[in-house]
Structures are given as structure tokens and as C-alpha cells.
Structure 1
């Protein structure tokens, strides 16, 4: 019966010891990022590398301690000094994880000083966060299995709750970051157009009395005094045509001539965008005066 309980722990610890390929992949990703910044002698980069190495060493230490716990659990009835050693080992693992999280937080705070290498270093930080989160889950599973062996660690329930909370917080954090990225991507891919007679455009304060565009000068930014409710919003990655259906038109905003064409016989039926990146490069707003 005791052997049955000891076996309960084995799958969890094998999960931790069987992640060599994941570690290789993680180290390869970090190596690629470091290769990209390898020519930089800046002290900030050296600090990043040193901290990355320390966190990796901590994760290796945790793995080794997990293997020791596995060996102790399989050796026989867990009691006396062996039981106390397992308690001590679990506390050591927990403390190392806390230290890892603190160091990653410090790396993130220093990221703004890394200049042109911020993207590569952020990728490495994301990989470390993923490794730490994965380890949190493994530790939580391990402590749960140890509970089945009647090994109670002081304040263990609180620590397991903390670990699970950290996993939840990281997941929420990642979801928020992804939402921010999605929102920024949508904003970058959003453009606006309006078609109207000169009178209509003037009345809406889109063009001046001389026919110039009020909202944009030589920049790509939309001015705050434009009422965007007067415009049609489009996604520049999918909007390949702008329907017009007017006899004559005048494109008031600036768009490279080779980035679009007008189609229609006796009327201008539509504006076809042949190069979206070029067409919207000078202005994210298209204003067409028509009659």
C-alpha cells in the first residue's frame, strides 16, 4: 500500500525531469537573442546576461532538488529525518522561485535602458517568465502529491495558493499585454475616408474655403478637431477598393499616384488600391471631393 502512495509522486517529478527538450529550445531562443546583441559591449547587456544565467542556474537547482525528493519518496516510508529533509527541500524550491520572479521583474524594469536591443531582450524575458510559470505548476502538482504521502510542510497550503495565484496573475498579465498589442495593431491598420461635394466637405469643416484639407498637414496623424463620425473607417489590410460612383472627383489628401487607380467609363466607379502600404504611407485619411 505504501508503494502505491510513493508511485503517485513519480509522474509529477518525471514531468519536471523530462523537460530537457524544452530547456534546449529555451536556451536556443535565448542564444539567438544574445547573438543579435553580441556585438554590444554595453554594461546593461552584460547585466542581462549575468541575470539570465543565474535564473537558469536556479531552475537547474530546482530540478536537481526535485530529483532528490523523488529518490527519497521512493526509498521507503517517509518519516523522521527524511520527512524533515523533504520539507526543507520544498521550502528551498519555493524560495528560489521567489528569487527568480524578483530578478525577472528587475530585468523588465531595466529593459527601457537596453535601447535598440529591447525586442530581443523582451523575448528572452518572456521565455524566462514562461519557464518560471511552468515550474510553478509543477511545484504545485508535486506538493499536492506529497500531501497524499502525509507530508505536511509548514504554511504549505498558503505557499501552494501563492504559486497558483502567481500562475493566474501571469496569465492575466499576458492576456492584458496581448490585448494591448491587438489594440495597437488595430489602430495601426485603421484608416478613414470621406467622399462629398466641396460644399459638404466645407460644412463639415473637413476642407478649407480654398479646398485644402484641414485635418492633416504633412504628417500622418489625424488632428483632434476632425469629427471622425463624418468618415468611414476601414482596415487597410483588407480594404482594397473604395466605392465612389461619381462623375468627377478630386483627391484632396496625398497618396502616391502609383499606389492606386481609378476605374469606370463615364463615371468614376471606384478607387482600387494596388499598394496599400504606399497608398496610406502619407496619410491615414482619404478625402475625395466629388460632383
Structure 2
């Protein structure tokens, strides 16, 4: 049992003896424990399912290797008897089915790991190893099939094996594209900055200014404009007086007046400007 669950049980038991089951403290702790236990149970179920998938894939690989060893491409008589042909055909069909099963299970495992969290390096290494084994084993079976064809034993598996190889490559391409899309989204978010401009009254109404202090906790992001810090070089303030209420190194920007005297923030060093805060709040008059 998970150590956290054991600790939780002990803690609940201690409260039961000291405070009683009807106490509010006990009920609150019990509710917290039930929540943790439910999360832990779901976590254990996911791990169990992944373990089952890995076990099935490894067993299939082992059985495929055993069936490979039973296929003799060099019969003693020089020719294949009908019984030998039938046995080879049956074994190759089973091999193909197990390869197909492994491809599907590896895909399921990949999806489970996606839900479980990609940061789990152990699971990622296991997945990479299974994928390599699949690619290697499929190539082996392709070579074996080619040998059988050269021995005038056509068993109709060529298209199926090539289809498996192409499907596996497509699976990898789709997942890589998904990972690239996710990385791009993460990169965009990392480089996203937000800014709000308004008078003192405006900022108070937005809930961004309270008792003369900036408040960004639980701020309504709808009041902010968003931009990519790599592309944002200038922010027009449409006012002749302005004060930056959030922290930004003075050397990273300047307030520059235009023809009508209206100010703009000129960002000279974006990385430095946003290094302290990814949120900019400007009070104008």
C-alpha cells in the first residue's frame, strides 16, 4: 500500500481515538483522506493497466521469437512439403497477428503515458525500448518473409508486414506532430506577456489597484492585452503622463513622447524588461 495512504489511515485512526467520529475535525480529516485515497486508487489503476500492456507486449515478442525459430527456410529435402508449407503459413499468420496486437498495445501505452505525465522518464524509456523492439522485430519478419519468397514459398504476408511497418511509422509521425504542437503551445505560453493600461479609477474598477497597491492575484485576464514578448517592442499609452506600477528594470525601457506629447513605452531589452514580471500595469493621466 502507498506510504501516504498508510500514513493517512494512521492519522484518521489517531483522530478517531482522540476526538471521536462525530467531531468536525474527524469528519474534515476523513473527507480529506477519502479524497486522497480515491486519487491514489485511480493512480494505482492506471499504473496497473500500463504494467499489463507492457507485459502483454513483451510476452508477444517472446512468442514471436519462438515461432520464428520453428520456421525452417532450408528443408532437408530441398523442397517444402505441403504440411511444412501449411505450418509455416500458420506460424507467419500468428506472428503477423501478434505484431498487430503489439502495435495497438504500444499505442495504448503511449496514450496512457500521455495522461499519466510525460515527465516520468522511466515510462518514457520503456516506451522507447518497446518501439525499438517493434521496429527491429518487424524488420526481422520482413527479412524472413523475403527468404520464404526466394524459396518459392509465397504466403501472402508481404503487404501485411509492409502495412504494419507503415502504420507504425505513421503512429510515430502523428505522435511527434502532437508533441511538436504541444511544445509550440508551451513555448507560446512561456513567451506570452500581458499588460493593462488605465487611469487610477479604471485600474481600481478592474480590481488591479487597491489602497494604492497593485493586485494581480486572481486578476481577470479579460482586462489585459496579450502579446508575444519576442514581438512586442512598443506599447502606445495614449496619455501624456504615465507610471509603471509593476516592476521592470529601468534600463530595459524608456518612455518616449510622440508628436502630440502622448507617451509610448519603448522596450529596449525584452528579456530584461519581462524578467521580474510577465504582467505590466500602467497608470496613466
Q: Shorter chain as normaliser: what TM range?
A: 0.5 to 0.7
Runs of 5+ consecutive residues of structure 2 not aligned to the other structure: 1-41, 209-214, 257-265
**What pairs up with 1:272-287 in 2 under 5 angstroms?**
279-280=276-277, 284-287=278-281
The unaligned stretches of length 5 or more in structure 1 are 1-39, 195-200
1:104 corresponds to which residue? Answer: 106
User: How many residues are treated as equivalent by the alignment?
Assistant: 223
2:252 maps to 1:251:
no
Q: Is the counterpart of residue 56 in structure 1 residue 61 in structure 2?
A: no
Superposed CA offset, 1:84-108 (max 9, x none): 3332221121111122233334445
Q: Distance in 2 between matches of 1:221 and 1:123?
A: 41
After TM superposition, list the pairs within 5 Å mapping 1:80-229 onto structure 2.
80=81, 81-108=83-110, 120-121=122-123, 124-154=126-156, 156-192=157-193, 206-207=197-198, 210=201, 212=203, 218=216, 223-224=221-222, 228=226
RMSD (Å) for aligned C-alpha atoms = 4.6
Q: Taking structure 1 as the reference length, what is the TM-score of the superposition?
A: 0.55
Aligned to 2:228: 233
Alpha-carbon distance in 2 for matches of 1:103, 1:114: 16
Larger RCO of the pair (alpha carbons < 8 Å, separation 6+) = 1
CA displacement 1:21-61 (0-9 Å, x = unmatched): xxxxxxxxxxxxxxxxxxx9935433432431231122122
Contact 1:215–1:223, Cα closer than 8 Å, also in 2: no
Provide, for residues 156-182 of structure 1, a one-character-per-residue CA deviation record: whole Å limited to 9, x for no partner: 244134213312321332232222222
Structure 2 contact 103–168 (Cα < 8 Å) conserved: no
Shift of 1:190: 1.7
Q: Distance between the aligned counterparts of 1:41 and 1:212, measured in 2?
A: 44
**SS in structure 2 of the partner of residue 187 of structure 1:** helix
1:73, CA displacement in angstroms? 1.9
Q: Tell me the TM-score normalised to structure 2 length.
A: 0.56
